[in-house]
């Protein structure tokens, strides 16, 4: 295996109860992933039924249009604040859709967490959320063909941690390819995002072949 893909939380007991990847029973999994130097792709899923009250009368928002990103971004923040990456500093998590909005949202989150400096759920992490994002995450362009968002993502995470992807069959390969080929960026960045980052990632971790 070159890596693993997980669709967000895991149902336990029934469809209304989920176990998130920052919870103690999951740390053994992360320790093994770290030991094997295996990247984990965190894929979105719909929020738990108990969490979709704010989508009432707007069912179209629950899935990929909005709910996927909100659910996954919150899941990632939980991982960051849990201390997981301090205990396993080599862990790599891959996010699609240009990081599920996190390149834009993390600076505000970091600012407010610094101002608060207290409260439930804080105090476990030794670094800032932006540091974890830049050190423990890669993002892909899957399903998010928007150049301004791409440039903002590069500014936050660095061009070496962005990889081209389409999200087929849910997105159109030709549409994604045409956007990327004509996006306003340097040829060097296009080469890195389009090919070199992914191949270099595999070679560096001995996963190529």
| Cis before 169 (ω within 30) | yes
Classify each residue of 71-91 as buried b or exposed e, where b means 16 or more C-beta atoms within 10 Å of its C-beta. bbbebbbbbbbbbbbeebeeb
Closest CA to 165 of 188, 144, 134: 144
Note the pTM of the prediction, 2 decimals. 0.93
Contact 33, 91 (CB under 8 A): yes
Query: What would the two tokens of residue 79 be?
Result: 């991982």
First to last CA, the chain: 11
Alpha-carbon gap, residue 140 to 40, rounded angstroms: 13
- Predicted confidence pLDDT, tens digits, the chain (209 residues): 678 999 999 998 888 899 999 999 999 999 999 999 999 999 999 999 999 999 999 999 999 999 999 999 999 999 999 999 999 999 999 999 999 999 999 999 999 998 887 777 777 899 999 999 999 999 999 999 999 999 999 999 999 999 999 999 999 999 999 999 999 999 999 999 999 999 987 776 666 65
pLDDT (0 to 100) of residue 192: 97
Q: Which CATH architecture has domain 4-204?
A: Alpha-Beta Barrel (3.20)
Q: Radius of gyration over alpha carbons of the chain, in Å? A: 17
pLDDT (0 to 100) of residue 114: 87
pLDDT (0 to 100) of residue 209: 59
> Is 184 marked active-site?
no
Query: What would the two tokens of residue 57 be?
Result: 């009368």
| Active-site hit among 37, 167, 181, 189 | 167
């Amino acid at each position: 295996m070159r890596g693993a893909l997980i669709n967000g939380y895991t149902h336990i007991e029934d469809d209304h109860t989920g176990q998130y990847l920052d919870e103690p029973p999951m740390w053994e999994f992360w320790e093994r992933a770290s030991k094997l130097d295996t990247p984990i792709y965190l894929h979105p899923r719909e929020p738990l039924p108990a969490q979709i009250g704010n989508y009432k009368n707007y069912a179209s928002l629950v899935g990929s249009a909005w709910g996927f990103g909100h659910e996954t971004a919150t899941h990632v923040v939980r991982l960051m604040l849990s201390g997981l990456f301090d205990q396993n500093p080599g862990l790599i998590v891959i996010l699609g859709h240009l990081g599920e909005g996190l390149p834009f949202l993390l600076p505000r989150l970091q600012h407010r967490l610094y101002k608060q400096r207290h409260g439930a759920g804080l105090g476990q992490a030794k670094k800032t959320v932006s540091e974890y994002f830049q050190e423990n995450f890669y993002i892909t362009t899957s399903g998010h063909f928007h150049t301004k968002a791409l440039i903002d993502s590069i500014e936050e995470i660095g061009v070496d941690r962005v990889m081209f992807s389409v999200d087929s069959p849910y997105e159109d390969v030709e549409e994604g390819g045409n956007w990327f080929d004509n996006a306003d960026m340097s040829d060097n960045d296009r080469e890195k995002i389009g090919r070199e980052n992914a191949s270099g990632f595999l070679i560096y971790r001995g996963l190529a072949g």
